[in-house]
Amino acid sequence: MDTNKVAVVTGAGGTLGSAMAIDLGRQGYKVVLVGRSLDKLKVTEEKIVAAGGTCMCLTADVKDLEQMKALRETVVREYGLCTVLINAAGGNQPTAVTTINSFDPAELQDGFEGRGFFNLDMERFLDVVNVNIMGTVIPCRLFAEDMYKAGGGSIINFASMNAYRPLSRVPAYALSKAGISNFTQWLACYLAPAGIRVNAIAPGFFLNDRSRKLLLTPDGGYTERGANIIRQTPMKKFGDAQELVGCMNWLINDDVAGFVTGITVPVDGGFLSDSGL
């Protein structure tokens, strides 16, 4: 087991990022856990250490260039040059989500109690775009330089089903995740001469603390939105975080995926294949 390999995982306290970080630790990577909540990172750290792995927790705002520069200096000083970057940080904001699926003239009137496109909070809208777009661009820019110095590397960005189809109610999240797929293609072309492969994973519907409240009822059934997703998913279930790990391992492995770059892989239980008819 090569314990000199260094992987940086942003969003490592989240459901999907933590699963990837834990598996990288199992493989012998020195894993850098990046997030805003130290408490969440510590949970991931405990699991990696319990399995005999090596990791460290570093808190930073992934969309803040200066914070990420300082974090990168710590990584290089403590562990060495990063060769795998998993950009799992990102997310949405409740106030950037509409409460209606299509235009209602009432949203143009004072006193409208819901959220339509015309009365969304634009600052929260921009927050969503920034964390998903700049929170991916900045880590790529910084750690790709170290990958070049190390002789090559692999970057995995996080897209979404929204990269293929704009889902209702989440315009900021949809446009930012579509942007991630496009940026992944652009960066793959740009960094190919540096020996760096850049790909993305587009998760389908996976349960986490936030989505459970939206998709499941207190008794374990489905909400209306949850039932709609299951109806549209041929495998008739939500994804489990471990079901992303195999895709990650394929994409970062130069021996089996060394000619793969610039793609976005849907891991969605068939969601994109089902027209709903």
> Pick the catalytic residue: 148, 173, 190, 222?
173
* 3-state SS, residue 226: helix
The beta strands (E) that lie in the chain are given as 6-10, 30-35, 54-59, 84-87, 153-158, 196-203, 264-267
Q: Identify whether the C-beta of residue 141 lies closer than 8 Å to the C-beta of residue 150.
A: no
DSSP lists the bridge partners of residue 177 as none
Determine contact, residues 127/96, Cβ cutoff 8 Å. Answer: yes
Q: CB neighbours (10 Å) of residue 4?
A: 11
**Residue 222 known to be catalytic:** no
Q: What tokens appear for 68 in the block?
A: 């990420």
The set of catalytic residues is: 173
